[in-house]
Structure 1
């Protein structure tokens, strides 16, 4: 438990306790909740800025609404730490994002106060509308509240949901947490007064009366009155867009002022009309100086010193794969003016920010709009440019139809940079890049590469630049490289050709690794050789097209062939097995073939090393797999037979 002085927060065990507090005590509760959030995240790391921005909003929502009976849905979940503290999880808050601890996002399995899990953005309005319709069909009375940030509102899914909701009569409350774009800044007391006025029963009743009267007037008068009312409200509030989508718009209001928030939330809670959008303006990192001054750096943090704000980052002699990609692309762009870079609201996460500093006119951040990003890249490719579309593996999933229909089917040379491929540590299952090898590898004409180290990544970026015959992808993991020396200039690799790394190509077992599992394969080989096995290790380089000559050589020259990849069932190993089956190699019964892949489960948040071990993809697991195929130490068996 924290050593902070939090006398009021100490009395809160569940949101019902918040509702029992008098309104004048809520500001103190918010201050203590903010201090607790800062202290907890300083211990665990995690998403800080967004949570600090919604402290007052979190207190107000739990004070006004009867959660968990009323459904409260947090979009993405970056901002949910204060919510977790108030909903019975304070004692575990310093286990955030650690093995066996609390998730960094909302999680249905974790608490009844998390009615919908999140990790990806822009899902809250769709989920909320589904819950509202389910309530109506079941004859219920609960409120459904979706809290969505202005960044998440840049995704098309949010507008698809609003368009659907606006055409229905279901009561749904959407809180637009505007903390960056400032769609319409609040104007102090006047803005708060207007928001309270137009959210109240009196205004809404007068508005309905006006509509009824206008309905009996000539059509041109009715249309004129409607337009005048919309203009007046749009002029004062900036809500015309949401009104056109069918939402009753309220705001903007100061999201840090409880005196402004509470009456508006009570009004919309008690409203019996259809969908309502409340526009709340907040500040990321509110109440913590370092986070206020550098919202981007304090969006997601490692452990840090509360007093100074200094983040405690582990030192590494190797650069991150993300940085190696960015520097490689910048180098290639110096020689090729057709190279452009695209990201979807993740410039720093994907390294595109560095490219943008060097080539701002050739850099495009399209917002949280992965579908658009892919088709946009397709259009650039169709006109002869060389687009590099950099997305996390888990976010590329959201644009799969576009990858197929708008790129692959047309043979367009879009270069996909698939960052965070494989297990990602503390972000857990929602962000794991487990499936890209399977969902990209099944597409005709796709060239799919995965580097074993930093130098290989440089060569693969050069390969992608040179390859113009269709789409290609380079996948690499989160974190640092292995520390190999990088070449002065990268060279394009021959498409679909792997490399021998260790051994003669003949022996007891061949380990065919894809990507950064090569280091574990080499460690396993060393231990197996010490036990008397003759081991070959090869680096596939390409998941598609596979190196058929290499696969045949390894299968024909060894008693066992083991493929290793940090991806799901249906990926690289499946490609190899399909090929060897088609060639009749397995029919001969001369080689045992096994694929080591991620298990068919969702792996929870933990360190990457522990996740790899749990998945059975570390050196220990490779040794065990080989011993399971060929028996224990070969040298020991031979001595036994000789005796």
Structure 2
């Protein structure tokens, strides 16, 4: 057997050439993309951990769908670096967040592949629903609007307004929840607990897949048994797992899927593409995937300045930033006033409140 030739990402016609590659070749490309992300962000700063976590997911989206005919809306937008690399901006990627360079968020004036200007959390589903409705009104019944819901958006109220409207719509909208148990800091609250509990259901999906593959190989009785299993799967699934809130809202639910397994991702997205009704795809990822310092401290590597790749140490220590000085002073005030409490913007490091959180966790 001849050795599979490793693709050269710099010589490819992206994203069209992705569909010509094998899964193994795409996995190699994912490794190359992570190196590009780490190298670029280490020099320019930017959002690192969230983008390292969405490499395989982005690859799978572009292999299954056809951008820009299929519209991809990234929420919050800072997780779209791989999307930029795969949509003709690889050579310019070194200018990320530089003057006259490419943006750290999605911008329709930068590329036809950026369907919606983004930079605020929880707006993607409403935006994608609007796009899907416009596509339907214009007679396009083939393509989809895809909302990729990322860090922090799963706990924002606007998301549920969008889900409430989209679930009952007659449109080709697909909502992909990229769940990594993190926003900028670690997620808290009832929704985070609910989504975390659903991670355990990955075993159900894997078992179902193994059973169906085994029945495909079983002569004579395999196909009838498989059809019987499929006809009863909703009753069985609800008995084992109960219904998800997303199904109750009107979505066809797929998942949870391992967000770093390309084959599983593509199978799930192909299934979502075939449904032709609102679909919710639940994907579990690891924030900071592939870079040890970011995996160990995903909150600290969410948004970074320049740093040394080998150690992960920042080039400039931010202990004397305005946020840090404010946070330390607040601790001094908190010692004197026991009624003083602090509220974060879901990002204790970015707001300098890590000191207060450590010293006064109950406040």
User: Structure 1 length as normaliser, TM-score?
Assistant: 0.48
Q: Which residue in 1 is equivalent to 2:362?
A: 361
Q: Does 1:177 align with 2:178?
A: yes
2:122 and 2:354 map into 1 onto residues whose CA distance is 23
Residues 176 and 280 in structure 1, CA contact (< 8 A), matched pair in contact too:
yes
1:85 and 1:150 map into 2 onto residues whose CA distance is 20
- Change in Cα spacing, 1:295 to 1:131, as seen in structure 2 (3 Å) is same
Residues 53 and 282 in structure 1, CA contact (< 8 A), matched pair in contact too:
yes
The structure carrying a bigger strand percent of its residues is: 1
After the TM superposition, list the runs of 4 or more consecutive aligned residues in structure 1 that deviate by more than 6 angstroms: 195-198, 205-210
2:203 and 2:244 map into 1 onto residues whose CA distance is 21
Q: Which moved more, 1:181-190 or 1:92-101?
A: 181-190
Size of the alignment, in residue pairs?
332
Encode CA deviations 1:161-213: one digit per residue, 9 max, x unaligned.
00111122222111110111534225666533547999xxx9xx989988xxx
- Change in Cα spacing, 1:298 to 1:93, as seen in structure 2 (3 Å) is same
Instruction: Give the 5 Å matches for 1:295-444.
Output: 295-313=298-316, 319-362=320-363
Encode CA deviations 1:346-389: one digit per residue, 9 max, x unaligned.
21111222212221111xxxxxxxxxxxxxxxxxxxxxxxxxxx
1:150 and 1:300 map into 2 onto residues whose CA distance is 12
- Change in Cα spacing, 1:119 to 1:139, as seen in structure 2 (3 Å) is same
1:286 and 1:229 map into 2 onto residues whose CA distance is 34
1:137 and 1:229 map into 2 onto residues whose CA distance is 37
| The one of 188, 191, 213 aligned to 2:205 | 191
1:355 and 1:88 map into 2 onto residues whose CA distance is 44
- Change in Cα spacing, 1:57 to 1:94, as seen in structure 2 (3 Å) is same
1:315 and 1:78 map into 2 onto residues whose CA distance is 21
- Change in Cα spacing, 1:197 to 1:281, as seen in structure 2 (3 Å) is farther
CA RMSD of aligned residues (A): 2.8
Helix, strand or coil at the partner of 1:35: helix
CA-CA distance at 1:336 after TM superposition: 2.1
Q: Which residue in 2 is equivalent to 1:159?
A: 160
Q: Which residue in 1 is equivalent to 2:130?
A: 130
CA-CA distance at 1:311 after TM superposition: 1.9
Helix, strand or coil at the partner of 1:91: coil
Q: Which residue in 2 is equivalent to 1:83?
A: 83
CA-CA distance at 1:88 after TM superposition: 0.7
| The one of 270, 283, 294 aligned to 2:274 | 270
CA-CA distance at 1:37 after TM superposition: 1.4
Q: Which residue in 2 is equivalent to 1:10?
A: 10
Helix, strand or coil at the partner of 1:252: strand
2:231 and 2:63 map into 1 onto residues whose CA distance is 32
Residues 343 and 350 in structure 1, CA contact (< 8 A), matched pair in contact too:
yes
- Change in Cα spacing, 1:315 to 1:359, as seen in structure 2 (3 Å) is closer
2:237 and 2:25 map into 1 onto residues whose CA distance is 38
Q: Which moved more, 1:176-185 or 1:117-126?
A: 176-185
CA-CA distance at 1:280 after TM superposition: 0.6
- Change in Cα spacing, 1:243 to 1:195, as seen in structure 2 (3 Å) is farther
Q: Which residue in 1 is equivalent to 2:265?
A: 261
Helix, strand or coil at the partner of 2:286: coil
Instruction: Give the 5 Å matches for 1:228-247.
Output: 231-232=238-239, 234-235=241-242, 240-247=244-251
Q: Does 1:289 align with 2:303?
A: no
CA-CA distance at 1:320 after TM superposition: 2.1
- Change in Cα spacing, 1:122 to 1:315, as seen in structure 2 (3 Å) is closer
Gaps of 5+ in 1: 1-5, 211-224, 363-643
Q: Which residue in 1 is equivalent to 2:55?
A: 55
Helix, strand or coil at the partner of 2:91: helix
Helix, strand or coil at the partner of 1:339: coil
Residues 202 and 256 in structure 2, CA contact (< 8 A), matched pair in contact too:
no
Q: Which residue in 1 is equivalent to 2:188?
A: none
Encode CA deviations 1:469-521: one digit per residue, 9 max, x unaligned.
xxxxxxxxxxxxxxxxxxxxxxxxxxxxxxxxxxxxxxxxxxxxxxxxxxxxx
User: Structure 2 length as normaliser, TM-score?
Assistant: 0.83
Q: Which has the higher contact order (CA 8 A, sep 6+)?
A: 2
Residues 195 and 251 in structure 1, CA contact (< 8 A), matched pair in contact too:
no
2:120 and 2:8 map into 1 onto residues whose CA distance is 33
Residues 195 and 250 in structure 1, CA contact (< 8 A), matched pair in contact too:
no
Q: Which residue in 2 is equivalent to 1:280?
A: 283
Instruction: Give the 5 Å matches for 1:477-626.
Output: none
- Change in Cα spacing, 1:197 to 1:117, as seen in structure 2 (3 Å) is farther
2:246 and 2:359 map into 1 onto residues whose CA distance is 38
CA-CA distance at 1:151 after TM superposition: 2.5
Residues 34 and 52 in structure 2, CA contact (< 8 A), matched pair in contact too:
yes
Helix, strand or coil at the partner of 2:175: strand
Helix, strand or coil at the partner of 2:90: helix
Q: Which residue in 2 is equivalent to 1:414?
A: none
